[in-house]
């Protein structure tokens, strides 16, 4: 017969071993988590430029360069980010396209406009994101894994009219549920923009009047902050020849070799960053989703997803 006292001793030893193992696992997990946050805090300032080429212009047209900015999420005191934004003039764009979420603090408008001052000398168009209207709030990062959600309580408002006025006074065109034609190099660029689908504010207003009947060389470009599928479908089916969007942060925290875990909208995660073709009802349009430049001030880290601006060189077909 088994000695009960001996058995009890073995059970106690096993319990102590399991407890010690659990404690070690918890410590290692804590150390790994802390190391990840330190690395992510460093990576968020490793700004870079992604270069893309698209042969979508009419034959014989001159090459055209777009600088695509998105999700700057500026906070006062971000000196390194401001210096990098100023340096982007070295790419000499023909047009700057800003797809929203410029702010992450209510006092960020003046320092953001100062950081963008050199780029405001170039022609530009823009649409807002939710973080141009409202300041971010502290919330659990796990909420992103539950899919897109709507705020139950309204977050603090930001001075979007002031930011919009700052862009407008520099000559940038507001495309919030609006369309506009601009002429460059004797070619017409037709824009149709949407307000932010993440806030259910989007409305497609068609293309500029008279553009459908014109025979002049032209290109149709759709501009939107959050690349929800319904917005991409509408712009694609309407004949967009290029769509520019942001919002996803490229996933922000990614797994090397796998990619994004979330896109913060209904876009498939493998499309959370980069240039892809979008198809809807027999129509196709290239969509560039920027991984963005900043982060919310309440989640100031990036892992395997460095911040980016995008230079798109548009070339003639053939």
> What does pTM read for this prediction?
0.87
Instruction: Give the residue-averaged pLDDT of 129-146.
Output: 74
Cβ-contact 221, 179 below 8 angstroms = no
Domain extents in the chain = 1-43, 48-316
Q: Is the pLDDT of residue 158 over 90?
A: yes
Q: Residue 97 pairs with which residues in a beta bridge?
A: 68, 125
Q: Where are the alpha helices (DSSP H) in 44-140?
A: 79-87, 109-115, 130-133
* 3-class SS of residue 192: strand
Q: What is the pLDDT of residue 147?
A: 57
Q: Is the dihedral of CA 103, 190, 286, 119 positive or negative?
A: negative
Residue from 26, 48, 25, 108 nearest 73 by CA: 108
Q: What is the pLDDT of residue 318?
A: 82
Q: What is the pLDDT of residue 210?
A: 81
Gap between the Cα atoms of 93 and 97, Å rounded = 10
Gap between the Cα atoms of 250 and 273, Å rounded = 5
Q: Is the pLDDT of residue 26 over 70?
A: no
Instruction: Give the residue-averaged pLDDT of 288-293.
Output: 98
Using pLDDT thresholds of 50, 70 and 90, give the confidence band for residue 16: low
Q: What is the CA radius of gyration of the chain?
A: 24
22, 107, 118, 257, 258 from 17: Cα distances, Å: 9, 54, 63, 36, 35
Structure tokens at 300: 């100031």
DSSP letters along 241-306, please? SEEEE--SGGGSBEETTTEES--SSSS-GGGSSEEEEEEETTEEEEEEE---S---TTS---BS--
Percent of the chain with pLDDT over 90: 78
Q: Name the fold adopted by 48-316.
A: Purple Acid Phosphatase; chain A, domain 2 (3.60.21)
Write the pLDDT tens digit of every residue in 174-210.
Answer: 999 999 999 999 999 999 999 999 999 999 999 999 8
Helix (H) or strand (E) holding 218: strand 218-223
Using pLDDT thresholds of 50, 70 and 90, give the confidence band for residue 17: low
Instruction: Give the residue-averaged pLDDT of 266-283.
Output: 98
Using pLDDT thresholds of 50, 70 and 90, give the confidence band for residue 216: confident
More reliable by pLDDT, 23 or 255? 255
Instruction: Give the residue-averaged pLDDT of 48-68.
Output: 97
CB-side exposure of 240: number of CA atoms within 13 Å?
Answer: 30
Percent of the chain with pLDDT over 70: 84
Using pLDDT thresholds of 50, 70 and 90, give the confidence band for residue 28: very low
Q: What is the pLDDT of residue 23?
A: 52
């Amino acid at each position: 017969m088994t000695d009960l006292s001996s058995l009890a001793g073995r059970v106690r030893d096993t319990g102590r071993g399991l407890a010690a193992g659990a404690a070690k696992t918890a410590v290692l997990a804590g150390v790994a988590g802390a190391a990840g946050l330190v690395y992510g805090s460093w990576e968020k300032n490793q700004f870079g430029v992604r270069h893309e080429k698209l042969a979508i212009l009419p034959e014989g047209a001159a090459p055209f360069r777009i600088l695509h900015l998105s999700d700057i999420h500026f906070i006062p005191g971000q000196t390194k980010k401001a210096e990098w934004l100023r340096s982007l003039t070295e790419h000499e764009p023909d047009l700057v396209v800003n797809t929203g979420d410029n702010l992450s603090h209510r006092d960020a408008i003046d320092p953001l406009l100062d950081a963008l001052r050199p780029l405001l000398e170039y022609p530009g168009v823009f649409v807002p994101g939710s973080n141009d209207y409202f300041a971010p709030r502290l919330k659990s990062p796990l909420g992103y894994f539950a899919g897109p959600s709507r705020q139950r309580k309204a977050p603090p408002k930001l001075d979007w009219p002031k930011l919009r006025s700052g862009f407008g006074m520099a000559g940038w065109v507001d495309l919030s549920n609006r369309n506009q034609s601009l002429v460059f190099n004797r070619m017409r660029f037709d824009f149709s923009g949407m307000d932010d689908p993440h806030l259910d504010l989007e409305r497609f207003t068609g293309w500029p009047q008279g553009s459908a009947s014109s025979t002049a060389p032209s290109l149709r470009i759709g501009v939107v902050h959050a690349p929800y599928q319904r917005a991409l479908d509408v712009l694609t089916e309407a004949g967009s020849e290029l769509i520019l969007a942001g919002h996803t942060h490229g996933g922000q925290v990614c797994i090397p070799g796998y990619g994004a875990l979330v896109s913060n909208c209904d876009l498939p995660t493998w499309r959370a960053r980069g240039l892809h073709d979008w198809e809807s009802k027999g129509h196709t349009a290239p969509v560039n989703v920027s991984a963005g430049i900043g982060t919310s001030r309440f989640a100031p880290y990036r892992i395997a997803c460095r911040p980016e601006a995008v230079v798109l060189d548009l070339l003639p077909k053939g």
